[in-house]
Structure 1
């Protein structure tokens, strides 16, 4: 694959990030600098800098004498990510519902219509659906008006997306948007308590996730 001259490192980061998040590079998979350098036709220095950026995002790790690997999630890691997602997304939903305005309502509805259209399209791609799932919650966080919450959410964004991919192992992609309908309606109707409750219920429970992962690894 060839890249343009525009910020080779940034392009390498975006390419590798997408491959990791989508599962092309699996959890725990070894990433060899020389192989990536040859495949992407980039210098090893550029690849190393890209991997360092991804390490800061929590997507890869480097171990002495063992090289780079895609991050693996222990049960404790998944437990923590699950609870962070519940805390951030439910709080954002409550805050937005409490301070909903006509402008924010229209932005949320417009994006949700795109989400629904995607899920109703032919040959819907699970990876794209997962991206829209996260973008919907990102939008709710942004529209909540809390810059602090947005910064904290963005700091774990890519791990949250990996989490979403993992929870969608046996998920019907066409039902993804439908599962958010009540949440969007509660926010638009200005019902904070209900919006927070529905945001929590929308997230696959930690127990269910563990069962799914065990089944997928048999």
Structure 2
């Protein structure tokens, strides 16, 4: 199993179960731990330099969040999603984030506009997705969308959206963005900044929904391609 806490990292000290959950969660979302990977209490405890008790607590937390699944006699694994599950999540995300953009439009101030515009500039400056910068691209994209959620001014809405934003990240969809698809994502961010700054909630909602659906199409097309390749492999000599 890939090491998720560096050798030079100090042992976890704060609320051990919570700290362990944070580290494991981050490792799942950044792809260090991949969908379907088996997680053992012993291995995680060794990697996190802690005992098995906080790891056990952490796995229970991550199970409730939908990031980990546990089955009798087989232990825990990073949750893997079927294509229809991911499609459902993106459908929900489009509705919820569209609503968030609509709410943010009349609430946004100059500082909020500046934060979103600066984020878009940073995303553009990162260039096309590569193994070296994909984590930065994902982080910047999450920052942009999270900022709009904060501007929407609804904690309940933010909590709902974060669940359907974070889960697809374990599939590293930005790895599969072509340069043209990356440009489309950047263009959508620019459009959102412009319409939000003008206070046009209707337009902001439409652009956000389209932006989310574009991301869904990239991910599902890749997942479908992988599934078809696996099916072909079964029948090959």
Distance 2:104 2:152 in 1: 4
**Matched position secondary structure for 1:61:** strand
What's the secondary structure of 1:98's corresponding residue? coil
CA contact (8 A) 2:99 2:205 kept: yes
2:232 equivalent in structure 1: none
Is 2:202 the counterpart of 1:196? no
1:38 Cα deviation from its structure 2 partner: 2.3
TM-score normalised by structure 2 residue count: 0.77
2:152 is matched with which residue? 144
5+ unaligned residues in a row in structure 2: which ranges?
1-6, 230-237
User: Aligned pair in 2 of structure 1 residues 54, 194: CA closer, same or farther (>3 Å)?
Assistant: same
- For 2:131 and 2:222, locate their aligned partners in 1 and report how far apart those are by CA, in whole Å: 24
* Aligned CA-pair RMSD: 2.8
Q: Does the 8 Å contact 2:176/2:218 carry over to 1?
A: no
2:19 maps to: 11
Post-superposition Cα deviations, 1:51-88, rounded to whole Å, max 9, x if no partner, equal: 11211221101111110010010233112211111011
2:103 is matched with: 95
- Which residue in 1 is equivalent to 2:193? 184
Report the alpha carbon displacement of residue 172 of structure 1 after superposing the two structures with TM.
5.0
Q: Does 1:133 align with 2:114?
A: no
Length-normalised TM-score, structure 1: 0.83
State the 1:193 CA deviation. 2.2
Rate the CA distance shift 1:178–1:216 in 2: closer, same or farther, 3 A. farther
The reply on whether 1:210 has 2:216 as its aligned counterpart is: no
How far does residue 117 in structure 1 lie from its aligned partner after superposition? 4.4
Asked whether the equivalents of residues 119 and 177 of structure 1 are also in contact (C-alpha less than 8 Å), the reply is no
- 1:35 equivalent in alignment to 2:43: yes
Offset at residue 210 of structure 1 (A): 2.4
State the partner residue of 2:177: 171
CA distance in 1, matches of 2:216, 2:110: 35
Match of 1:82 among 61, 68, 90: 90
Aligned position for 1:62: 70
Structure 1 runs not aligned, ≥5 long: none
Change beyond 3 A, Cα 1:103–1:91: same
Mapped to 2, the partners of 1:91 and 1:79 lie a distance apart of 18
